Every structure is written in C-alpha cells, then in structure tokens.
Amino acid sequence: MAQPVVPNVLAARYASDEMARIWSPEQKVVLERRFWIAVLRAQRDLGVAVADGAVEAYEAVVDQVDLDSVGERERVTKHDVKARIEECNALAGFQEIHKGLTSRDLTENVEQLQVRLAVALVRDRVVAALARLAERAAEHAATAVTGRSHNVPAQVTTVGKRLANAGQELLQALVRIEELLARYPLRGVKGPVGTQQDLVDLFGGDVGLVDELEQRVAAHLGFERVLGSVGQVYPRSLDLDVVAAYVQAASGPANLAVTIRLMAGAGLATEGFLPGQVGSSAMPHKQNARSSERITALTHILGGHLAMVTALVGDQWNEGDVSCSAVRRVALPDSSFAIDGLLETFLAVLRGFAVYEDRIAAELQRELPFLATTKLLLALVKRGVGREDAHAAVKEHALAARGDGPAFLSLLAGDARIGFTADQLAALVGQPVDLAGAAPAHVAAFVAEVDEVTKRHPEAAAYEGADVL
C-alpha cells in the first residue's frame, strides 16, 4: 500500500495562496530555472562560450513545469538536481545550464530567493495590517474603556489606544523587517567549499570576472548584496534572522488577539461582527474569539520554528555539512506559512472587530468612581474637608460599596462630612474620556506614523485580506 498523502496543514489551512505558491514544488522549479538563466546570461555576457539562442530558449520554457516528468527522470538518475537539469535542457533543446556550478550553488541561492520573496510578502501583509489597525484605532480613538493592569481596572484608556499600542509594536517589527530586506545578502556562486575554484577555472583564473558574474546574477535576482566569504552554504544565522523577524511581527497582533479574547469574555468586544449584522450586541456571550485564539496558536508554532533554526547556530562544521537540511526544509516554509496565516487571520479579526458600547459603558459606570478616587480626594480637600476626614470617608464607603461604583457615590452623597450632592459628585467624576490623558493624541500620532508607511507602500496597504476558515 502506498504511503497516504499527508498535506502540509499550515499551508492548507492557514496560509494564503501567494505564500503557498512561493514554497510549492512547482514554483521551486521555476525559480531554479530563473537562477540558471541569470547565470547563463552573465556567463555569456562575460565571454564564456554559450550557444546562440540558448538563453532565449530557456527563457521560453521557464514556466513549463511537469513534476511527473521530473520525477521519472529522478528515478533514473537517482539525483534530484541532475533530473531537473535534464528536464530543463530537454524542454529548451540546449545543454548549457549549470556550467561551473555545484548543486549547492543552485539550491542555496534559490532557497534565498524564496526566503526573500516570503519576507517581502510578510512585509506587505504587515503594512496592510497597520493600515487596518490605524483605521480601527481612529474610529475608536475617543471610545473610553476601563484600562487594566494585572487584568484589574487601573485607569481609563480608549479602545483606539489599545489598538494603537498593538500597532506601535507592529511598526517596530516593520522597521526590523525592512532593515532585514535591505541587507539580506545572497550567498552567491561559490562552489562546493566556497572558494569558487570551478568558476575561477572556467574564467581562466580571473577572479575579477568571477566577481562580476556573481554581481550580475545577484542583480538579476533582485539582491543588492552578495556575501564575500562563505563555505558551502550561506550562514545559517540568516535563517535565524528571518524567523526571529517573523516572531517579532507576530507579537503586536498576538498581544491584541489575547486582549480581544479577554474583552470577548467580558462581553465588551467581538472579532466576529459581520457587515449587515443587526445591532452590536446580539448575544455577545456567544461570540467565540476563535480567530484570535488561532493567532495565539500560530504564535506558539512560530516559536517552535525559531527553536529549530536556533539549533542551527554553531552547528556548521568546517565548510558545511547538511545536518541543517531537513531542519530548513521544515522551518523555512512552515514559519512563512505560520506568519502569513497569522497575519491573514489578524486582518480578518480587524475586519470583524467591533465593541459593545453599552457593556463598555456599564463597566465604566461601575469602575469609574474608584478610578477617580484621587480626583475626588483633591476636590474634597479643595472644598475645605479635612484631609483625614476625606480619606476616612472615602475609604469607608469604598469598602462598603463592594466594587459597585454608583453605590460608592451614593454613600458619599449621603455622608454629611462630605457635603457634596449626588449630582456634584457625578460631575466631579466626569466623563471617562477626560481621564484618558493623552490617549487620543497617541492614537493620532500612530495614525500619522502609519500614513507614512502606507504612502511608501500604497498597493500593499490596500490589501484587505482573504476569507479565513
């Protein structure tokens, strides 16, 4: 009985089509062919004899991928790279590719190309997430909500600021990713131990020409930098750099996701508000924050991938072994799928995000008098109540009110030592948003920062996201 096919669950359930394509077997064949053509073109232009029309013939067949045919060749050659060379040659009708190269010259550079495409896609999705966050934050910039530390009421903040806090963290991650993209260097065409011996031979000992070839290949593939001195492989800490950046990109969304799960539990917010839905409060307690939970899960998965590539640090012997091979086959695509799925899920959460204003207001009504205690004391003293008396009265009634703010105010109003009416006390406590300090200003600043980002990446920012499971 043949082995049953087990699909990659991260690709199939969570990742976008675009990310799945970058790492698909078909696309790998296409990218390899592009690499071969880049090398071949550079070799031709730098004086290596290449048959006329060969470059063009290869270019014409780049996208003609038949994995079955490649598989049949591999069963004969027992060598996967060789099989793909033969297939490509057969399609083009030439035998010009892969000259002066080893398998690693092909696989290392193509994997780096996949990595760069994946990171660029993640960059775009982060931009989209920031754009949506800024929109939601602006909507709710002045929606006061009970701010919490240790998960208990602490001071007033606004829903918009809560969103902006997550966005601020994501902005940091965006800078991190953009820096990474800007400097991410290609290993280049360096041969089996990194000395370029075979290419130096091919170019008759002219190291300068070898260098020039490498620069042209890199430019053709869209890389601005090439590593100078490497062994068989590019430094695996570059993989760490990438996956760590993914995890960093997950953090803002994941922190907001857990907060939405908390708010959903208290009936304050939902991730599942659908356009056309009537009202904002149909059985809020039935709104499971499943997508937010998924964001938590995908974050944990990314942490596992980070552990995998961390294990590659200090694990490279001499000029390089392949003890990293299976690790990278798993961790590089799978972490890309995970962060991509996480950001898609986050976009869905932001699309569906809504607050239940009545529940938020009810919570504030209950908590606000306690959150405003300092303000009350100041007013009492100002009015001439003795400081000790004020303290004693406030403490006594706060205890007696057992967490019920309005009751607390009633008790104060009924206390002759205080001398404020219920209305006066209510006026003193004031409107919640007045206790939110610079929260609206922080939101505005965040929105302005995101504007700069979306101006640089208008197309990415326009992405609204796909449906998620």
Q: Which of residues 16-75 bind a copy of itself (CB under 8 A)?
A: 17, 20-21, 23-27
CA distances from 210 to 39, 47, 287, 467 (A): 11, 11, 62, 48
Nearer to a copy of itself by C-beta: 54 or 343?
A: 343
Which residues within the stretch 75-104 sit at the binding site for a copy of itself (CB under 8 A)?
none
Tokens matching residue 395: 């403490």
Q: Of 58, 94, 273, 446, which one interacts with a copy of itself (CB under 8 A)?
A: 446
* Residue 406 contacts a copy of itself per CB under 8 A: no
* Residue 198 contacts a copy of itself per CB under 8 A: yes
Tokens matching residue 35: 């690499």
What x-and-dash track marks residues 126-155 binding a copy of itself by CB under 8 A? ---------------------xxxxxxxxx
DSSP per-residue letters across 145-166: EEEEETTEEEEEEEHHHHHHHH
* Residue 392 contacts a copy of itself per CB under 8 A: no
Q: Of 439, 453, 460, 461, which one interacts with a copy of itself (CB under 8 A)?
A: 439
Using DSSP's 3-state secondary structure scheme, residue 14 falls into helix
Show Cβ contacts of residue 328 under 8 Å, excluding neighbours closer than 6 positions: 111, 236, 239, 309, 312
Segment lying near a copy of itself (by CB under 8 A), choices 118-126, 183-191, 424-432, 453-461: 183-191
* Residue 462 contacts a copy of itself per CB under 8 A: no
* Residue 281 contacts a copy of itself per CB under 8 A: yes
Q: How far is the CB of 203 from a copy of itself (least distance, A)?
A: 10
Tokens matching residue 411: 């008790």
User: Phi and psi at residue 191, in whole multiples of 5°?
Assistant: 80, 180
Using DSSP's 3-state secondary structure scheme, residue 126 falls into helix
Nearer to a copy of itself by C-beta: 20 or 117?
A: 20
Q: Of 98, 261, 351, 397, which one interacts with a copy of itself (CB under 8 A)?
A: 261
Q: How far is the CB of 140 from a copy of itself (least distance, A)?
A: 13
Q: How far is the CB of 47 from a copy of itself (least distance, A)?
A: 18
What is the C-alpha separation between 112 and 319, in angstroms, rounded? 18
Instruction: Report the run of H or E that residue 321 belongs to, with start and end.
Output: none
Query: Which amino acid does the sequence have at 186?
Result: L
What is the C-alpha separation between 333 and 265, in angstroms, rounded? 34
Nearer to a copy of itself by C-beta: 156 or 354?
A: 156
Show Cβ contacts of residue 338 under 8 Å, excluding neighbours closer than 6 positions: 10, 14, 15, 246, 298, 301, 302, 305
Instruction: Report the run of H or E that residue 354 belongs to, with start and end.
Output: strand 354-355
Say what angle helices 80-92 and 103-139 make with each other, to 10 degrees. Answer: 90
Which residues within the stretch 206-245 sit at the binding site for a copy of itself (CB under 8 A)?
207, 210, 227-232, 235-238, 240-241, 244
Q: Of 136, 294, 397, 457, which one interacts with a copy of itself (CB under 8 A)?
A: 294
Which residues within the stretch 317-376 sit at the binding site for a copy of itself (CB under 8 A)?
317-327, 329-331, 333-334, 337, 358-359, 367, 370
The footprint of a copy of itself on this chain (CB under 8 A) covers a number of residues equal to 160
Nearer to a copy of itself by C-beta: 41 or 161?
A: 161
CA distances from 260 to 126, 191, 249, 447 (A): 19, 51, 18, 20
Q: How far is the CB of 323 from a copy of itself (least distance, A)?
A: 4
* Residue 275 contacts a copy of itself per CB under 8 A: no
